[in-house]
Structure 1
Amino acid sequence: MVQKTDSGITPRYILDSFMRHWYFFLLFMMAGVLVAWLYLRYATPGYKVRAKILVKDDQKGGNIPGQEILQQLEVFSNKSSVDNEVEILKSRTLMQKVVQNLQLNTSYFAEGRIKESEQYGNLPFALQWLALNDTINKVSYTIAPVGVDKFQLSGPRGSRTASWKDTLHLPEGVVKIDRTAFPFAHASYIIKVSSIDETTGNYQQLLDVRIPNKQVSTIDLGLDTKIPEKGEKILNNLLNSYLQASVEDKNRIADSTIAFIDNRLIIVTQELSGVEKNIQQFKQANELADIQAQSKLLVEGTGDAHKQLLEQQVQLNVVQSLEQYIRAAENDKRVVPSSLIVQDPTFVGLVQRYNNLQLERERLLMSNTASNPLVVNMDQQLAGIRGDLLSNLSSLKKGIEVGISEQERNASALSQKIRQVPAKERIFLDISRQQAIKQELYLFLLKKREESAISKTSNMAIARIIDDAKSDALPFKPKRFLILLLGLVLGIAFPAGYQYMKELLSRRIRNKGDVTNNTPVPVLAEIGHNPSGYLVTRSNSRSPVAEQFRALRTNLQFVLADITQKSVIITSSMGGEGKTFVSTNLAAILAMSGKKVVLMEMDLRKPKIAERLGLDNHEGFSTYAIGKTDIRNLINPSGIHENCWFISSGPIPPNPTELLLQARTQELFRELNERFDYIIIDSAPIGLVTDAQVLARHADASLYVVRHGVTMKQQLQISKDLYMQRKLPRLNIIINDVTTQSGHGYGYGYGYGYGYGMEADEKRGLLRKLTKWAVPNGK
């Protein structure tokens, strides 16, 4: 278990603080559980209604059976996806249609002792809005039976009595109320009417539409409702409206397409009939049987003529090219190209003879010169044959030119015949072209009309229902266990938070950690709360507080271990912190150890020791300082113990600090050091006056008293300054009036301690748990 340390507020310290107020926690826990039970008793349970549909989605494989035929027609390309259908299901238009179908803007309630409970289904009356003003605000009516045949309807504008099945004109609209077979289970019912828009928005917030994951094309629908039957009916109506709207959208497109095709068919039929009538009139007027066949023959003849003319022109070009080649002087020693030979037997023979002679001449030149008689003879033969070739080519060219002229005349004659074809042939072709276009369009429209008609008759919804709306068997809210647990937790949290914040925000010292965290001065001891009197350290006292003063005595011996005559000054930040209580009991506990102790009441401003001990204070330090009393009359028995003596303050002087500065004060302390082992000086609060600092020069150790729950944390800065500037000798802190911690006894940082002796006169048989004390380093 976590122990409380000197570091401040720890879990164990907080737990101890809580345990001291266990009754406070128990009361709040009981209150929290009671509030939770009352909430569960009167809270309206909420149910979750669920449904599931499958959507056609080509990308996710959610095809609906029977869709293949429509896909083959490819008339309508209404592609949809699961994400689109989710948004449609969430749409306001669809929910508004459901609200209007089921008249969800009207709710019925029965008044109970604590709350109103909504009624649905088995109502003794049926209300139907014949006309409704959608700009209405929320309004309530009360209906109660009057006899057997009548009822009374009370509203914000008064009440009226009417017969069942009557039609009433209300500010919200026209309504008809009829009697049902169910009896009136309550004396009256409350009818609450809201606007369609408001009701639609409310149900949209209650509707949950989501896709389970991205790999499927199913949609899960959920609706939060207080009445399961009503929620199932709403969700089923929503799905039916969604599927019906999907089919209606497709039918609307099909009807629009068919109507458009019908209109176009009427126009195209009229145009096609007119074109065919024009063709008939044209042929009759021009006595034409088959215009296309006649035109074809003329075109074929013209083509043949042009073909022959082209062949003649090619031959003429070949002859002309060959003639130019032979006439060229640079070619007289070359053979005639065979690719240019004209297909004429005589000419072909001359060319072959000429080429052979050229080849033979070249062979002779390889072994003879050009002046060789054989070579000269061959040159003369070649010149003669060349002349024959040119003469033959000239005759051939003239024959070809005559043929070309003849072919041109034939082509001109055919062209003239084509030009003689009536110009109306072109008109006929234009009319025929229009007829073909109109006929193709007519057939296309007839085909699409049939496809549209077939598509309309086989239209299916974009989705199908997998699971109808069904409510969960148990409500999802309120969660009984969690509500009770929350009530219990809040019952603990409220007082715990209060106690924690009280400890955290406290400006006063609440634990030892508050001291150690705000000042470097070591804590010498802690003194517990003492409810039994002023003097607790008597010779036979075994109380926890007395034992703590004994621990203080032991710790003080370590602080003053190197000093024979020991003088201790005790001060505090302000009055009321218990420095007088600590001084008196410390002197008593030191006297019980066999030491001679003198207790000096040096708080000259507000002395209290003499009064609490019942001693005379007419003479004391103030009278000694001014020379009216000598030292023999100054020291008196304290009545606490035979070893304890007392010096009172005397009458309150007007100048306490000046008296402390006199030489007689130093003489007094020198005398006391010689006669006593311990001098305990109860001085004025150092946070208010400087008396303690003046007396500090006569002291060997200083005890700074702080009180639990009284001393401010900021006042610890005084002890820090005194410690850092060494204004007081061997300064230590005593924490006074420490309250009891549950299960710990007294003191911060003591642990459980050990079993100790009992007081003979106090609570015999009860085991006291005292604490161990770690002695701090004194200076």
Structure 2
Amino acid sequence: MGNRSKEKIDENPIVELFITIKPYAVSISVITVLSGLLTLLFLYFQPSIYESYAIIKIKSEARGGARLRDIDPLSSALSISGNSKVDQELAILKTFYINNRAIEELANREKFIDRINLKIQYFKEEKYKKVEIFSEFPIEIKEIKIKDKKVIGKYIQLIPVVDGFRFKIGKNKSSQVYRYEHSINTKQFKLIVKKYQDFKNPIYFRLNGNNRNIYEKIVRKNLKVSKLNDNVSLIKVAYQDTSASRATKYVNALIDVYIAQSIKDKSKKNNKILDFIEKQLDTTGKKLKLSESQLEEYRVSNSVIEPSIQSQSLINRLSEIEVELSENSIKERLVANLKTVIKHNQNLDSITPILRELEDEPTIRVIERLQDLQRRANELKRDFTEKHPDLKAVRRDIARNRRTIRLNIESLKSNILGRKKELISIKKEYENSLKTLPTKEKQLIGLRRNYEVNSKMYSYLLEKKSENEMKRVATVSDYEIVDRAYSNGIPIKPKRLSSIVIFTVFGFVFAVLLSLLRNFMINRVQNIKDIERLTSLPIYGSLPITAETKFEIRDHPKSKLSEIFRSIRTTLQFIRKVDKSNIILVTSNSPKEGKTVITANLCAIFQMADYKSIVIDLNLYRPEIHNYFNIINDKGISDYLINKHDKIEDIILSTSYPNLDIITAGQRVDNPSDLILSDKLESLIAKLKKEYDFLFIDTAPFSMVADTLYLMQHADINLIVIREQIAKKIFVSNLETMIKKHNIKNVGLVINRTL
């Protein structure tokens, strides 16, 4: 057979796998084809999904983060500056508030062709599946009111009949005939059906509920809002739908509503400032008129035109103190706003301009450090859990910086209040100085001071009013549409071709794995590769796969089976004892493995090479070999061993082959084991070896009869027949141990592949 170890080195694992799964070729093919067909069937009923998307740009520092030069301290004090970043804009676009307005905007468009009512969808049955109707609706369902929420999302069949229609929900078909254009009131819903054109086949419709239901069940899972790039403020708004047109219209409606809302919010901001300014102007204007009137009246009545130089100096200084106190008051409001932002953990971008106004650079640097830490935390959150040590360390730094900011703001507040006390104290000193002046001049100074303070405040408010009116007139959105919604009309899912390929391959791989598992779990030998893996014993021959192994050497000497036995004969000739008679014993582990028919064919092929041969049936338990030679088993070796026949010649029978004789088993005996182990059998075999070139012995299976192992010890060549699907793997794996234990020589295997 050659070097077995070398063969194992040269084995191709792919070929080995192929041989292993070959017996399961039919089942593998069936599973693979079924996988492909089931995938096709599944995909047939799956609607194509399209995607439409738009790109919007957030203008620099939109909704917050503006620098000090762009922020009015008054706006900051009123908490009007925004604090949203790109991430917050992503969240806003996903909210029900914005999407609800988009849903309403689509449903209430003037042109019917542009109108999309997401509360209801229409379908028709086409080739065993429901196909949505997107245009040319034969009917329209209006004034929908759902009574039973269980009906939401279910297909309701509208069946046309004479003078109207019937409903069918699930398996329940209504017997009542309803009329078009009339209010329909059932247990599940209330609605009106309007017919635009005649139709014969049933129409299906599906109620999706109110806007909240539509958002939760449909919009939310199909809307994708994401950053287009981390380095630029671009947002991609994408929507998936079974209709490319509907997806495009929804995205456009959403971004239009979103931008309109941003303009409205900015207008509200400016209006709030203007309202505040108007109120302050009204109050300050009245004070200014009053102070002006009082000053003029006092001058006229007391014949006083201008105060003295000393008095004018006091007036200027007190005015400066009053202005500084007003600024200090605004700073107090700014600090109060800062504390609110910090307390509620709001975005810190909006407080930076306030801190610049308050000239608190140290806190600004802490905030910048905090923002860097927050960005770092967001990056880590994408890759790690909250328990990751790096993220935990960043969280600790964030908490530490927030504490520092709070302490700094408290310190800032303390400084502002301290300065306020100083100013009040200085003001009192100057006011005390006024008390030394003559009464008339003192009164004039008081009136002049009130007039100048009110005049300066009124001028400041007029300036702010003008600025904010210009802002209101020029109000534009913080967002710009870079690309309006677009769909290329190519479905994004399901990927039909790739799905078919993937699941067909998956079915094939699954079938192969199942076959390998089955092969592993099956305890019987499946093929020659199993045998080669389980034992290193030489294989002298392998019979072809046939329905049954026949004794056909004589009738079909040129057949494939005959050629295989010739090959076995050649192999055995190389290992036989030269110039001596050889005993070839044929056995198996269990019955029905084909050892007897193989013995018959083997001895027949040897005699054809002019070897004088004899076959001895030592299977005294179930003798069978005589049947292959059409010989009656009326006398045989058992008769000789129990002395019923004294001469060897009496039990040797001729066959139809010129160089082949046979000794049958003979009559059944009660003690076959004793006969096989007797000296008389040994003497018989010794005499036969002198007369014949080859002695072929057919025995009982050695797992059933221990006598066979004794006979194998005395044979020159032992052939063990292993039949695929019959022989157990554990037997093959234990063969070498058994052979070594019983000191059996020259053992080879013959593989019977008969089905």
TM-score w.r.t. the length of structure 1 is 0.68
1:590 deviates by: 1.6
Q: Deviation per CA, 1:36-73, whole angstroms, max 9, x where unpaired?
A: 666666553333323333332359xxx9xxxxx99999
Q: Is the 8 A contact 1:70 1:455 kept in 2?
A: no
Q: Which deviates further from its counterpart, 665-674 or 468-477?
A: 468-477
Q: What's the secondary structure of 2:658's corresponding residue?
A: coil
- Tell me, yes or no, if structure 1 residue 106 matches structure 2 residue 117: no
AA aligned opposite 1:87: A
| Residues 562 and 197 of structure 1: CA distance in aligned 2, closer, same or farther (over 3 Å) | farther
| Residues 675 and 130 of structure 1: CA distance in aligned 2, closer, same or farther (over 3 Å) | closer
- Tell me, yes or no, if structure 1 residue 115 matches structure 2 residue 118: no
AA aligned opposite 2:212: D
Q: What's 2:364 paired with?
A: none
User: Which of these residues, 49, 54, 62, is aligned with residue 57 of structure 2?
Assistant: 54
| Residues 297 and 99 of structure 1: CA distance in aligned 2, closer, same or farther (over 3 Å) | closer
Task: Map residues 158-237 of structure 1 onto 2, 5 A cutoff.
Answer: 178=194, 182-195=196-209, 196-201=211-216, 202-237=218-253
1:566 deviates by: 0.9
Q: Is the 8 A contact 2:52 2:487 kept in 1?
A: yes
Task: Map residues 27-106 of structure 1 onto 2, 5 A cutoff.
Answer: 43-57=46-60, 77-78=81-82, 82-101=86-105, 102=107, 103-106=117-120
Q: Partners of 2:222 and 2:314 in 1: how far apart?
A: 85
Q: Partners of 1:490 and 1:208 in 2: how far apart?
A: 30
AA aligned opposite 2:282: I
Q: Deviation per CA, 1:731-750, whole angstroms, max 9, x where unpaired?
A: 111112367xxxxxxxxxxx
Q: What's the secondary structure of 1:461's corresponding residue?
A: coil
Q: Which deviates further from its counterpart, 159-168 or 41-50?
A: 159-168
Q: Is the 8 A contact 2:617 2:625 kept in 1?
A: yes
| Residues 535 and 153 of structure 1: CA distance in aligned 2, closer, same or farther (over 3 Å) | closer
Q: What's 1:545 paired with?
A: 561
Q: Which one has the largest radius of gyration?
A: 1
AA aligned opposite 2:96: R
- Tell me, yes or no, if structure 1 residue 657 matches structure 2 residue 673: yes
AA aligned opposite 1:571: T
Q: Partners of 2:124 and 2:293 in 1: how far apart?
A: 82
Q: What's the secondary structure of 2:534's corresponding residue?
A: coil
1:97 deviates by: 2.3
- Tell me, yes or no, if structure 1 residue 471 matches structure 2 residue 471: no
Q: Deviation per CA, 1:524-556, whole angstroms, max 9, x where unpaired?
A: 222224557632222860111111111111111
Q: Partners of 2:492 and 2:175 in 1: how far apart?
A: 40
Q: Deviation per CA, 1:160-199, whole angstroms, max 9, x where unpaired?
A: 77776666667778756556xx423455533321233332
Q: Deviation per CA, 1:270-294, whole angstroms, max 9, x where unpaired?
A: 4444555665676678765433336
AA aligned opposite 1:120: F
Q: Partners of 2:536 and 2:160 in 1: how far apart?
A: 85
Q: What's 2:723 paired with?
A: 707
Q: Which deviates further from its counterpart, 138-147 or 595-604?
A: 138-147
- Tell me, yes or no, if structure 1 residue 263 matches structure 2 residue 279: yes
1:460 deviates by: 1.3
Q: What's the secondary structure of 1:205's corresponding residue?
A: helix
Q: Partners of 2:481 and 2:673 in 1: how far apart?
A: 100
Q: Partners of 1:270 and 1:494 in 2: how far apart?
A: 90
| Residues 611 and 134 of structure 1: CA distance in aligned 2, closer, same or farther (over 3 Å) | closer
1:518 deviates by: 0.9
Q: Is the 8 A contact 2:617 2:697 kept in 1?
A: yes
Q: What's 1:560 paired with?
A: 576
Q: Which deviates further from its counterpart, 521-530 or 119-128?
A: 119-128
| Residues 419 and 126 of structure 1: CA distance in aligned 2, closer, same or farther (over 3 Å) | closer
Q: What's 2:708 paired with?
A: 692
Q: What's the secondary structure of 1:219's corresponding residue?
A: strand
Q: What's the secondary structure of 1:108's corresponding residue?
A: strand
Q: Partners of 1:480 and 1:95 in 2: how far apart?
A: 31
Q: Which deviates further from its counterpart, 281-290 or 454-463?
A: 281-290
Q: Partners of 1:298 and 1:240 in 2: how far apart?
A: 60
Q: What's 2:405 paired with?
A: none
Q: Partners of 1:12 and 1:245 in 2: how far apart?
A: 69
Task: Map residues 760-771 of structure 1 onto 2, 5 A cutoff.
Answer: none
AA aligned opposite 1:117: V
AA aligned opposite 1:104: L
AA aligned opposite 1:689: V
Q: Is the 8 A contact 1:99 1:105 kept in 2?
A: no
Q: Partners of 2:308 and 2:145 in 1: how far apart?
A: 74
1:104 deviates by: 0.9
Q: Partners of 1:536 and 1:594 in 2: how far apart?
A: 18
Q: Is the 8 A contact 1:57 1:82 kept in 2?
A: no
AA aligned opposite 2:565: F
Q: What's 2:356 paired with?
A: none
Q: What's the secondary structure of 1:117's corresponding residue?
A: strand
Q: Partners of 2:511 and 2:280 in 1: how far apart?
A: 85
1:5 deviates by: 7.0
1:599 deviates by: 1.0
Q: Deviation per CA, 1:499-529, whole angstroms, max 9, x where unpaired?
A: 5655555432222221121122222222224
| Residues 99 and 157 of structure 1: CA distance in aligned 2, closer, same or farther (over 3 Å) | farther
- Tell me, yes or no, if structure 1 residue 570 matches structure 2 residue 586: yes
Q: Identity rate of aligned residues, in percent?
A: 22
Q: Is the 8 A contact 1:707 1:738 kept in 2?
A: yes
| Residues 261 and 158 of structure 1: CA distance in aligned 2, closer, same or farther (over 3 Å) | farther
1:690 deviates by: 0.8
1:98 deviates by: 2.1
Q: Is the 8 A contact 2:713 2:743 kept in 1?
A: no
Q: Partners of 1:112 and 1:675 in 2: how far apart?
A: 88
Q: What's 2:527 paired with?
A: 511
| Residues 640 and 87 of structure 1: CA distance in aligned 2, closer, same or farther (over 3 Å) | farther
Q: What's 1:244 paired with?
A: 260
Which runs of 5 or more structure 1 residues have no equivalent in the other structure?
64-68, 300-416, 740-779
AA aligned opposite 1:606: R
Q: What's the secondary structure of 1:600's corresponding residue?
A: strand
Q: Is the 8 A contact 1:530 1:545 kept in 2?
A: no
1:688 deviates by: 2.2
State how many pairs are aligned.
611
Q: Is the 8 A contact 1:693 1:727 kept in 2?
A: no
User: Which of these residues, 524, 536, 544, is aligned with residue 540 of structure 2?
Assistant: 524
Aligned-CA RMSD value:
4.4
